[in-house]
Chain A
Amino acid sequence: MSPQKAKMTVPPHPMDAMLRTDRIPHIWCSGCGIGTSFGCVMAAIQKSGYPLEKVAMVSGIGCTGRMAGYIKLDSYHTTHGRAVPFATGLKIARPDVAVLVVSGDGDLLAIGGNHFIHAARRNIDITVVCVNNLNYGMTGGQQAPSTPFGAKTTTSTIGCPEEPFNFCHLAAACGATYVARWTSLHIRRLTNSITEAMQKRGFSFVEILAPCPTSFGRRNKMGNALKTLKFYHERSVVRNDIDPKEATLDFNSNIVVGKFVDIERPTFLDCYSLVNKKQLGDWPNLGEKTPQSEK
């Protein structure tokens, strides 16, 4: 009599239906915040009400960019920094499809920064989710436009000599219709924000602060991922609806999170069709106008 072999059963993951399960295990390090962020993205897609064949994901290069490789949707993993212009073309070709860009901080706002500001200005109707882990994780932890002043990376071993961007302030200043920031610990609020962003017409932006224990945390004595999350938990302050200019990321005191912008603005295609109806008057209005004295 041969002993019966114990069968190992892996319990199904609640998101299995949305995953390319034949590609698991994924490449992300243990403790990385992208996993929970990805979970929130998938939950938000389900909550958004879009049929799955009408949702496309576009990404660039980097750890976050790999989300596109694991999600069972039409998914396009493009070149470094170019996810936003690729998504711009895709959205214009298929206005009925919800186009979601997932991107890391370096991908989106260093090499892709110019595309980001112009897509927001044009109000291209896409949703951009940025996982901000404060450094270039995939290449081993170099300084990024998000790296806090003084923080250590492999290319700023003494301390980062530059000031980082405030991504939310930048997005809002460029015309984004929806802007929010959460940490990867704010699961429920983050999922709600991504859902709202997807349902929002126009350029919507959600920033997620996520730990990168392997590349960033360890060089800055932040300990393991749990400790980083505790750090985020202790210092996060929810301040909805404030001017994103005030939504600073001062890791020494407060990490300001919340929903900062939720406005209506005609999209690129709205304006394109309006202009091409040729019903707008001439620019500028050359009618008589009395000069006003200085106040």
Chain B
Amino acid sequence: MNGDEACCEGALAVGCRFFAGYPITPATEVAERMSRRLPEVGGVYIQMEDELASMAAILGASWGGVKSMTSTSGPGFSLMMENIGLGVCTETPCVVCNVQRAGPSTGLPTLVAQGDMMQARWGAHGHYEIIAVAPSSPQEMFDFTIWAFNLSEQYRLPVLIMADEVVGHMNERVTIPTEDKIEIIERRKTKASYDDYLPYRADADWIAPMANCAEGYHPHITGLTHDERGYPVMDAATQEKMITRLVRKIRDNSDKIIRYDEMFMDDAEVAVVAYGISVRSAKGAVRAARSKGVKAGLIKLDTVWPFPEKLIRGVAPKVRGMIMPEINFGQMVLELERCAGGACKVKLVPHAGGAIISPKTILGAIEDMIKEAK
């Protein structure tokens, strides 16, 4: 099956029972399959009037206690930003899959890009932390969708699946494990009595247990700056407390959130750091370099936000240089440079979008870096 379809199946496997969406290339196949599959498992698919509404509807459904998601691409992702912000502020578990295409604006609807990486990080106004994962194959579209739901339930926020057109439309074998092999994490529920319950009183790990609609707790939930009671309080002290918690619940748990993979990194002199579809090109390039006797390795970022800062700070002094191929003119590479902190060279292999980066281009960059370092 293709990546979009695998995303749908992953969502169903982890218990998603509500999907609100709007057609958009190249994410439409997620919605199409959802519309067919959800009624079969007792869920509901609704096609909303726009992406503003899709995002608002999945937040509502999540408060109703139903795991919910939407999928989109660039223009729709822009519209969703408003209510992604509401989801962050109100700490609402849900999943948004962005099958990236080239922009800005309508751009190249049918062709690949990785240009929304910083929008994923900062697209909604205000300061917050977000979780985003980047699948590089249909199998990972399935696996990472399950993982994204688990992260969203655990850390109570919208989790973004930053896929792309090629991963979404590529057909590969997808293994769907049996039910008992799928780890499912549910939101932490409150054990407080009705009188003692405070909707935003967090446990030691900064995460506040949740009360769904109609459970008798009568929480007030607002996108205004709020205190532990969920009540709006318009002052700097409450803002400081709320933002600190929204930020620290991700930062302090980042070791548990971040996943990555390595290939040939033991003796690597050049590390190619890649995410999403560019991992596939990078793999080819690193293998080709090794066959030429060049000591190249690959770091594959499964989590892109929060950025694996600790990992990069550890690797940077051990290599001569790091290369990041990405289908934009430099987004995640800014983070890579920051975390490398001058301990090694960092080079971008850019692409404006419309096609994937060829392994040859990355191989060229690896060889150039070896030469420059000598």
- Asked whether, in the complex, the Cβ of A53 is within 8 Å of the Cβ of B214, the reply is yes
B26-42 to A contact mask, C-beta < 8 Å, 1/0:
00000000000001000
Interface SS majority for chain A: helix
Closest A-chain residue to B54, C-beta based? A85
Report the Cα distance A88→B55, complex, angstroms: 11
Report the Cα distance A235→B113, complex, angstroms: 61
- Asked whether, in the complex, the Cβ of A89 is within 8 Å of the Cβ of B220, the reply is no
Report the Cα distance A276→B231, complex, angstroms: 41
How far, in Å, is A99 (CB) from chain B's closest CB?
Answer: 9
How far, in Å, is B229 (CB) from chain A's closest CB?
Answer: 8
Question: Looking at the complex, which of B59-67, B156-164, B293-301, B338-346 is the stretch in contact with chain A?
Answer: B59-67
- Asked whether, in the complex, the Cβ of A118 is within 8 Å of the Cβ of B48, the reply is yes
- Asked whether, in the complex, the Cβ of A93 is within 8 Å of the Cβ of B18, the reply is yes
The one of A52, A56, A85, A269 that contacts B57, using a Cβ cutoff of 8 Å: A85
Closest B-chain residue to A96, C-beta based? B214
Report the Cα distance A20→B220, complex, angstroms: 10
How far, in Å, is B11 (CB) from chain A's closest CB?
Answer: 15
Report the Cα distance A88→B214, complex, angstroms: 16
The one of B52, B90, B214, B219 that contacts A85, using a Cβ cutoff of 8 Å: B52
1-43 of chain A: CB within 8 A of chain B = 20, 22-23
- Asked whether, in the complex, the Cβ of B220 is within 8 Å of the Cβ of A82, the reply is no
Interface SS majority for chain B: mixed
How far, in Å, is B194 (CB) from chain A's closest CB?
Answer: 10
Report the Cα distance A79→B223, complex, angstroms: 7
The one of B50, B59, B232 that contacts A86, using a Cβ cutoff of 8 Å: B59
Report the Cα distance A20→B231, complex, angstroms: 10
- Asked whether, in the complex, the Cβ of B58 is within 8 Å of the Cβ of A89, the reply is yes
Report the Cα distance A223→B259, complex, angstroms: 65
Report the Cα distance A90→B213, complex, angstroms: 8
Contacts of A201 in B (CB 8 A): none
Q: Is A115 located at the chain interface by the 8 A CB criterion?
A: yes
Closest A-chain residue to B49, C-beta based? A118
Interface size class on chain B is 35 or more
Contacts A54-B214, A88-B46, A272-B44 hold; do A78 and B56 have CB atoms under 8 A apart? yes
Contacts of B50 in A (CB 8 A): 114
Q: Is A75 located at the chain interface by the 8 A CB criterion?
A: yes
Contacts A74-B218, A86-B56, A97-B213 hold; do A79 and B86 have CB atoms under 8 A apart? yes
- Asked whether, in the complex, the Cβ of A93 is within 8 Å of the Cβ of B53, the reply is no
How far, in Å, is B234 (CB) from chain A's closest CB?
Answer: 10
Q: Is B177 located at the chain interface by the 8 A CB criterion?
A: no
Q: Is B221 located at the chain interface by the 8 A CB criterion?
A: yes
Q: Is B224 located at the chain interface by the 8 A CB criterion?
A: yes
Contacts A53-B216, A85-B56, A89-B57 hold; do A78 and B86 have CB atoms under 8 A apart? yes
Contacts of A93 in B (CB 8 A): 18, 60-66, 68, 213
Q: Is A242 located at the chain interface by the 8 A CB criterion?
A: no
The one of A69, A78, A89 that contacts B61, using a Cβ cutoff of 8 Å: A89
Q: Is B253 located at the chain interface by the 8 A CB criterion?
A: no
Closest A-chain residue to B17, C-beta based? A93
86-117 of chain B: CB within 8 A of chain A = 86, 90
- Asked whether, in the complex, the Cβ of A72 is within 8 Å of the Cβ of B214, the reply is no
The one of A69, A81, A272 that contacts B231, using a Cβ cutoff of 8 Å: A69
Contacts of B57 in A (CB 8 A): 85-86, 88-89, 92
- Asked whether, in the complex, the Cβ of A94 is within 8 Å of the Cβ of B213, the reply is yes
Contacts of B220 in A (CB 8 A): 20, 68-69, 75, 77
Report the Cα distance A53→B211, complex, angstroms: 12
Report the Cα distance A118→B58, complex, angstroms: 16
The one of B66, B83, B214, B218 that contacts A82, using a Cβ cutoff of 8 Å: B83
Contacts of A92 in B (CB 8 A): 18, 44, 46, 57, 61, 64, 66
Report the Cα distance A276→B224, complex, angstroms: 40
204-224 of chain B: CB within 8 A of chain A = 213-224
Report the Cα distance A96→B66, complex, angstroms: 14
Of B48, B83, B85, B224, which is in contact with the most chain A CB atoms at under 10 Å from its CB?
B48
Report the Cα distance A58→B221, complex, angstroms: 9
Contacts of A73 in B (CB 8 A): 218
Of A69, A81, A96, which is in contact with the most chain B CB atoms at under 10 Å from its CB?
A69
22 examples of A-B residue contacts, CB within 8 angstroms = A53-B214, A53-B216, A56-B213, A73-B218, A74-B63, A75-B220, A75-B221, A76-B222, A77-B224, A79-B82, A82-B52, A82-B86, A85-B52, A88-B20, A88-B48, A89-B18, A89-B20, A89-B56, A89-B62, A89-B64, A92-B46, A115-B49
Could you tell me which B residues sit within 8 Å of A by CB distance? 18, 20, 39, 44, 46, 48-50, 52-54, 56-66, 68, 82-83, 85-86, 90, 213-224, 231-232
Given contacts A75-B219, A78-B56, A88-B60, 16 further A-B contacts (CB under 8 A): A20-B231, A69-B220, A69-B232, A76-B60, A77-B223, A78-B59, A78-B83, A82-B56, A82-B82, A90-B61, A90-B213, A92-B61, A93-B18, A93-B61, A93-B64, A115-B53
Sort A-B residue pairs by CB-CB distance and give the 8 closest, nearest first: A93-B64, A89-B60, A89-B57, A89-B61, A90-B60, A85-B53, A85-B56, A77-B222
